[in-house]
Amino acid sequence: MARKGTIERNKALEGKIKTFAARRATLRATIRDKTLPANERFEAQIRLAALPRDSSKTRYCNRCLSTGRVRAYYRRFQASRIVLRELASVGMLPGITKASW
């Protein structure tokens, strides 16, 4: 089980990502636009770097809903491999069975 603090931190990250998403998108579009002058694109890079690090999408990590585990996460089920196996063996996931049965 993951610590409660890391799970709460991840939830806070999700909110910060949503608030800064539009600002990041406009700055990135300005940086990529080759028709603009170089100094304007450079200023956009500086403003993008000045934004909080936690507002970047790459800082967010998917976590298992029941345990909070980060590794071996299945997006389709929003669960880790351990929870997925437990749910499948109990029969809670329709259409999924263990291969060794």
For the stretch 19-75, pLDDT in tens is: 999 999 999 999 999 999 999 999 999 999 999 998 888 888 888 988 888 999 999
Is the distance from CB of 6 to CB of 73 less than 8 angstroms? Answer: no
Q: Where are the domains of the chain?
A: 1-61, 62-101
**Identity (one letter) of the amino acid at 81?**
R
CATH class of the structural domain 1-61? mainly alpha
What's the CATH number for 62-101?
Answer: 4.10.830.10
- What is the model's pTM? 0.67
Residue 59: enclosing H or E segment and its boundaries? none
**Identity (one letter) of the amino acid at 44?**
A
For the stretch 7-23, pLDDT in tens is: 888 888 889 999 999 99
